[in-house]
Structure 1
Amino acid sequence: MTKRKLKNSLLSAEATGGDIAESGFQYQASLIASRVPYWLKHDGFTEAIQEALGDVEASFFVPERGICREFVEYKNHRLTPSEFWPEIERFWEMDKTSPEAYCKFVLACKDVSDDIKSMLNALRRVRDAYPFYQNASAIQNSSFSDFETIVNNLYQKEDVSNFLFDKVFFEIDLTDAENYAREKFRDALYNCFPELQNFTAKAGSEAFSNVAELIKNRRNKPIHRNDLELAITHAVESNYKLVKNIRLHTRSYVKNCV
């Protein structure tokens, strides 16, 4: 009997069947590069890998749960339901077979069909405001129930509304503009590390090129945090380090001995 390869296998069709033309791979490497400043902003970020199970995955150490990963898929076109829902199915199968492996799935594309877009708008509206009503369960429950109805009207195989709400995020803004990824990288870099705004625009552009080239040359191999930091700092100052102040909150306890 032939065993079906699971979708969370490095030898699955989804993992090995995505050979990309050189121009397409350069575009993808640029998009991945634009995420790097946000990864580096997190002290727990340790490494990333591309073209393994997905287009790119990032690994973070989270004290209360250990290693947690972000899984990202890029689609350089508009997604219709016939392509959108299989991507969600793949994410969900991966999460069910390895429930502790991933804390976040991201699907990035140029656009989606109108019915999917309405569902994503509902997801954003409910999820963004949900924490505000933490002591108003009636509002939370009725809002989620309405979102669940919208999802089930579009996708009737299984109820994926909880999975979408908890773990799946969408970026519907990709373009073919030549400087799109470079500008996203620059904005993210200055947002995450404001002190870098003192360096020249040329240095920021070189930092992006260094990171994108590093990513392009590391297919299916881990890219460590230090490698990404060096790619950026080599473009600005050789002795500059991407560091952030770390605040430790301590509390002393004095027992009453009287």
Structure 2
Amino acid sequence: MDEISDLEDVPEVELGDIQLSLRQEAENRVVEDDGYTLFGCLALNITNLLLRIPARNKNKTTQGTKTIEEYTKPDVIKKGAVDLLSKHKKQFKSVLTILVDDNTPEALPNSQSESKESEAHMETFYQRVIEDCKSDEKYKPYAKLCIYAAATCINTPIYIASVNEAGEMQWTYFKPLFKFEGQPEAVINYVTMFISSDNTFHGIESHDQSALVPVARGLVGMYMSFLEDTPETSIEVPDELRNLPIASKYRLCYNLNNDMVLRCW
């Protein structure tokens, strides 16, 4: 499945249609009628999922490590995600190009440039992103970035259902990007949500614990979609990579053992 698309350009789809599509995948998946902000929906989902997990000893967690139970309030998840964006700039800056919707050349600096001017532009832009992510309205152009930050914060994969330009439902997969000190123990298998055309999030519950995990692409799939939409003449390939023998290129892809990377080549 492709990345979450520009939701303003997709046709309106009723929640009932999404319900039908989801039931074809897993009989007991239900979309909540009420819509929330990203962090509000995530907090509600975590609360509901924790109610279904058998009691466990939370005192066994390492000192200083949070527990998932602490992330049942929207403001707490939002603060955790924003803190990660602030403290781990290197990890998130490297994927800004495909995670930010406001990616015109004037708005989004070249994340690969090493010039002082570009670095200063990137830092200014990134600080604006962090400030906007604190708002329940201004975060929307950076929803994908916030979802990855939230998934990392709660150490739980997040699956987002959306509607593409053809009016078809698709899944996108956001997994924790890295480990950090104080990260909660992974006790929830995954969270599922639906994002509507107005950037409102609806919880998706599956009362059947054996329901199959949604079929979705993750960050590499997003990058491949980004490459497919990028003119070939504007893609800069380092000479060291360009001059590799064909056999070496295929060997490199083979070692990564990922068909999607091969398609990116």
TM range (shorter): under 0.3
TM-score normalized by structure 2? 0.26
TM-score normalized by structure 1? 0.26
Between 1 and 2, higher relative CO (CA 8 Å, sep ≥ 6) is seen in 2
